[in-house]
Amino acid sequence: MLFFWEEECTRWRLLDMEERELVDRLGVGGVEGDERIAVEESLRVVRAKKGVPPSLRDESGRAVEGEELPAYGE
């Protein structure tokens, strides 16, 4: 369990750093046009990754769509 939390903290720290870097790039006036759109999209992706709970992610951290979680038999 401790290993899981350590990995989760590392994951969040990296996502926070990436988000901060993207926000800083948007704050600079030199980002325009297609580059700005790409940075905004990357920022949305990072924020979406932060919102996916561990039970709905695969090993890479991406959301798993349509996969049913294991359940106890009746």
pLDDT, residue 15, reads: 94
Whole-prediction pTM: 0.67
Give whole-number Cα distances, 70 to 55, 56, 67, 73, in Å: 10, 12, 9, 9
The CA distance from 60 to 44, in Å, is 18
The first and second tokens of residue 30, run together, are: 């030199």
Q: Longest C-alpha distance within the chain, in Å?
A: 60
What residues contact residue 31 under an 8 Å CB cut-off, 6+ apart?
Answer: 25, 39
pLDDT in tens, 8-59: 899 999 999 999 999 999 887 777 889 888 989 999 999 998 888 877 776 6
> Hey, how many other C-beta atoms are within 10 angstroms of the C-beta on 46?
20
pLDDT, residue 45, reads: 93
